[in-house]
Amino acid sequence: MKLFPLVLLLIAAQVTAQKKVHKVLLGESVKLIQVNAENCYEVILETGDNEEIEVDAQMDGEYSDDLQMKVSEVGNTLVLGAGFQPVFKNPNDKLSAHKVVSIALKIKLPKYKSVQVFGNSSRVIAFGDYLKLDVTLSDGTCELHNISQAVNVRTQSGNIVVYANRATISAETKYGQYKKDTIPNGFNSYKLNSVTGNIILNKTE
């Protein structure tokens, strides 16, 4: 199975050192979507009735022209991310290059797919319906807005914030604070774990 790019827009603004990339991929046979957020400061996930997978990347900074959206496929797994092009040679050092770039991804995908997100300092914001959503972060923050069906979030020091109407929630933070509204049990399942991050549960109407 091959993914055919339907749309590829590339806009570079030299004045603001910003690059935007938009891709639409056919994803009927995709069962699992993995998002490598290690180079991203923000990842927004949304689900819809569309059959395609839409990815928007905004890349800012001095080296924005040397950044690219990364898309690969292994079987029924689609891997998404962004980072420096393989041919990039930093005139200084790679660490300094990372200090002056910022990458944000917005991904819209069909409902009831399995999604895995892993990163360091990324802010992950998720909306919609998933077969399973798995998020692993270091000091990044994860926000979940009325997610269904199964969610598993793990952070080292990042906060986990949940907005839900009904859900069965298992939450544990070893050294952080646990603040919660009373949320009735429901079909959707949340498993939340952090070492030093706070876990905050908010009841929605």
Backbone φ, ψ for residue 94 (5° rounding): -65, -35
| Strand 199-203 versus strand 160-164 pairing type | parallel
State the pLDDT at residue 11.
43
Q: Which domain holds residue 115?
A: 5-203
CA distance 52 to 108: 8
Backbone φ, ψ for residue 98 (5° rounding): -65, -25
State the pLDDT at residue 14.
43
Q: Which of 31, 22, 7 is nearest to 107 (CA)?
A: 22
Backbone φ, ψ for residue 25 (5° rounding): -120, 140
The 3-state DSSP class for residue 111 equals coil
Q: Which of 100, 196, 59 is nearest to 139 (CA)?
A: 196
pTM for this prediction: 0.85
User: From the first residue on, what is the mean pLDDT of each consecutive set of 10 residues in the chain (205 residues)?
Assistant: 48 58 88 95 96 91 72 93 67 50 91 96 97 97 96 98 97 98 96 98 95
DSSP per-residue string spanning 49-68: S-SEEEEEEEEEETTGGGEE
State the pLDDT at residue 16.
53
State the pLDDT at residue 112.
95
Q: Which of 118, 117, 110, 152 is nearest to 132 (CA)?
A: 152
SS3 content of the chain, % helix, strand, coil (to 5): 5, 60, 35
Neighbours of 2 (CB within 10 A): 6
State the pLDDT at residue 178.
97
Count of structural domains, the chain: 1
Return the DSSP state at 4: P
